A and B are shown apart, each in its own frame.
Chain A
Amino acid sequence: MADFDFNSSEKADTAELQKMIAVEQQKAQFQAQVHNFTDVCWDKCVEKPSSKLDSRTETCLVSCVERFIDTTLTITNRFTQMVQKGTH
């Protein structure tokens, strides 16, 4: 994406465009992450699909997202420590 060939009058436009695209990319990244979480947490929390998402399932989904993020953080931290200590 870095190979645009703009003249100077278009430079400001380009900078603005890049900023706006970065914002959209962040939104897309958020959505991609939601797809992953939903995939994992659906398997953990949803038994048989019924006519409504009951409150137990809803609570489970929220906890699932929270614990998945906690797990990611815990593993990242522990892995960083392992690498720093050079134990593995």
Chain B
Amino acid sequence: MDGFGSDFSSAAGSGKMDTGTIMEQVKVQIAVANAQELLQRMTDKCFKKCIGKPGGTLDNSEQKCIAMCMDRYMDAWNTVSRAYNSRLQRERARI
């Protein structure tokens, strides 16, 4: 996420970008960062779950495990996201 400010100040200062364009870029950069974070953590978790002793190749069962693990990790991410969101809403209602 570095380089955020510097990218904008040069482009925005010259008056070449309108608010909509800037916001679109902000959203895209955040989405890319989010995807990279997910990818990195998912790789880490699924490597640990699926590759016991690294062999000569990724064998068939390991590849199946990785595919399954990816799907479940994304399910878990969504479940966690919903749980966190509902907790935030409850906390807000308490105040």
Residues of A participating in the B interface, judged by any CB pair closer than 8 Å: 1, 3-6, 10, 13, 16-17, 20-21, 24, 27-28, 30-35, 37-39, 41-43, 45-46, 48-51, 53, 57-58, 61-62, 64-66, 69
Contacts and interface: CB of A to CB of B under 8 A. Distances in A.
Given A16-B19, A48-B49, A49-B69, A24 B76 contact: no
B44 to A, nearest CB: 8
B43 to A, nearest CB: 12
Nearest to A10: B15
Contact of A53 (B9, B18, B22, B72): B72
A62 B4 contact: no
Given A39-B45, A61-B80, 5 more contacts: A38-B77, A49-B50, A49-B73, A62-B79, A66-B87
B38 A35 contact: yes
Interface residues of B, number: 40
Given A31-B34, A65-B83, A24 B27 contact: yes
A33 B88 CA distance: 12
B9 A20 contact: no
Contacts of A17: 19, 22-23
Given A35-B41, A38-B41, A69-B87, A20 B19 contact: yes
A61 B79 contact: yes
A46 B76 contact: yes
